Structure 1
Amino acid sequence: MPPVATPSWDPGQYLRHSGPRTRPFHDLLARIPDLPGQGRRPARIADLGCGAGNVTALLTARWPDADVLGLDNSPEMLAEARAYCGDRITFAHADLTTWVPDGPYDLIVSNAALQWVPGHARSFATWTKALTPGGTLAFQVPGNGDAPSHALLRELCASPRWHDRLGEAGRRRVDVLAPQEYLDRLTRLGCTVDAWETTYVHVLQGEDPVLDWIRGTGLRPALTALADDAEATAAFLAEYAALLREAYPRRPYGTPFPFRRVFVVARKPD
């Protein structure tokens, strides 16, 4: 079977659901404490997996004088982020599996990105060591790897029709720990940790809205694997859409879509 290609990203598709996608970051941001040195010097902030820059901009809204660095491995997303944020934020290419802070940071934050980084918890020691005293590591990740949307995708990719064509694309699982596991690991590193989970029930609108949602994120590996064949892509999406319509039936008010998220705010001692 062919290896899994690095997913290509479509900023426009991702931003189609920017409202509900941004809500977890607002909830995370509300739990981040004041940063060390606030009011005395500009804070240093790193946004890991900044994507299209729409949530990175929220960091400058809360800390207007901060020196913010947005990092991502997608050229498409970085281009969108630079266009969205202008000169007030610095953006750079980085692979989060190997990224090492270039100096002390008051806040290292990540919004719905670490699930794409296998073994990301192994980087916690390096990241928290780079925090200034009183600094914070904060992130949220999707916790819906076992939801029907993802289970059906894996089953479809493994079916006889698509198994050889998609290779391992459908088997790629997000790398997310339980809240208590994150709490344990970061507490052992000396941090004070607030870890929790929330299941949002988004009400999606339109034709095949769950498919439209997933096209921006979890479906990217499969779409990347089929990118050179428009006919196969259309056939695959038609099969997947039918499965999603059954799993997430439309109601008179829209299509309810439960989405579990895991949150962590870890503060380094002063």
Structure 2
Amino acid sequence: MLDWNPDLYLKFEKERTLPAKDLISRVEIVNPKRILDIGCGSGNSTHELKKRWPNAEIVGIDNSKSMVEKARSLYDDTKFILMDATEDLSPLGKFDIVFSNAAIQRIPDHENLIKSFYDLLNDKGVLAIQLPLIDEVEAQKALYELEYVKKYKQYLDDKELRFNTKSPDFYYDILSSLFNPNSIYIWTTTYTHSMDSLDDILKWYESTTLVPYFDALPNEEIISNFKNNFYIKLKNVYSPRPNGSILFNYKRLFLVASK
């Protein structure tokens, strides 16, 4: 199976880290002792947690070997573990903050997943999650259209390609069954990223969302053809601004709750 490309992912480190910073800013704990970063990737969100709470013990977990290796090479002051979020995480112990930035959207059954995160929290601990609302992104709608093209459909039909992000109401109902409703904060933000060209949007997708598509396609020729057709669809969706930049709007959902 193809793995993530950390270097390509970090080409957009500023844009990818901004939601993590915004999520961290809403966590109202002064001096947490232990923090868990679920789906830490290349460690950029974990590093932001370390900057906010330098005295805390922070553990980052991710199921991508290449991402964990990259995180270890960049941030040797933090513990990174190759581990899937759906595993039993209880051996890691309890935490004052359980944090996850753009990581659980491909995992099914968010109700039980969030309950498992809740069980990792100390008393008065905080759960903080950010999820991309990918179905509202124009590039994603263009990508979905390719799933129905005959030459690709036969390879993509039985694959888990769609994200599992639900509505804010869905998450409120889960959180309010676990946390004091007065401690729950849910909001959305649309980030408008200024890209130099359509190539940048394509590279953004190549580092993450396109990986399972490429993994499902049988050979490099079809992968290249798929990528070219996706680029053509992007041209139909995004128009350059007068200065030549492309505005890439990306909506995200934020969840914060205190135990």
Q: Cα distance, 1:127 vs. partner?
A: 1.9
| Match of residue 33, structure 2, among 38, 43, 47 | 43
- 1:68 alignment partner in structure 2: 58
Contact (CA 8 Å) 1:180, 1:195: kept in 2 or not? no
Structure 1 unaligned segments of length 5 or more: list them.
Answer: 1-5
The one-letter code sitting in structure 1 at the alignment partner of 2:166 is L
CA deviations 1:215-258 (Å, max 9, x no partner) are 122111112223x6222222111111000111112222311111
Q: Cα distance, 1:183 vs. partner?
A: 2.1
| Match of residue 10, structure 2, among 15, 18, 43 | 15
| Match of residue 258, structure 1, among 244, 249, 258 | 249
The one-letter code sitting in structure 2 at the alignment partner of 1:124 is I
Where 1:34 maps in the other structure, the secondary structure is coil
- 1:3 alignment partner in structure 2: none
Q: Cα distance, 1:197 vs. partner?
A: 0.5
Matched ranges for 1:214-229 at <5 A: 214-226=205-217, 229=219
Structure 2 unaligned segments of length 5 or more: list them.
Answer: none
The yes-or-no answer on 1:190 pairing with 2:173 is no
Contact (CA 8 Å) 2:198, 2:231: kept in 1 or not? no
Task: Give the alignment's TM-score, normalised by structure 1.
Answer: 0.88
- 1:243 alignment partner in structure 2: 233
- 2:29 alignment partner in structure 1: 34
CA distance in 2, matches of 1:165, 1:135: 44
The yes-or-no answer on 1:211 pairing with 2:202 is yes
CA deviations 1:89-114 (Å, max 9, x no partner) are 11111111234333211010001001
Contact (CA 8 Å) 1:97, 1:120: kept in 2 or not? no
- 2:190 alignment partner in structure 1: 199
Matched ranges for 1:100-249 at <5 A: 100-102=89-91, 103-169=93-159, 172-191=161-180, 192-226=183-217, 229-249=219-239
Task: Give the alignment's TM-score, normalised by structure 2.
Answer: 0.92
- 1:267 alignment partner in structure 2: 258
CA distance in 1, matches of 2:171, 2:14: 27
Q: Cα distance, 1:146 vs. partner?
A: 4.0
Cα distance change, pair 99–248 in 1 and its aligned pair in 2 (3 A): farther
CA distance in 1, matches of 2:207, 2:242: 25
Number of residues paired by the alignment? 255
CA distance in 2, matches of 1:128, 1:110: 12
Q: Cα distance, 1:123 vs. partner?
A: 2.1
The yes-or-no answer on 1:83 pairing with 2:73 is yes
Give the percent of matched residue pairs that are identical in Structure 1 and Structure 2. Answer: 33
Cα distance change, pair 178–7 in 1 and its aligned pair in 2 (3 A): farther
Q: Cα distance, 1:159 vs. partner?
A: 0.8
Where 1:249 maps in the other structure, the secondary structure is coil
Q: Cα distance, 1:125 vs. partner?
A: 2.1
CA distance in 1, matches of 2:175, 2:95: 17
Stretches (4+) displaced over 3 A: 165-169
Moved more, 15-24 or 158-167: 158-167
- CA RMSD in angstroms comes to 1.7
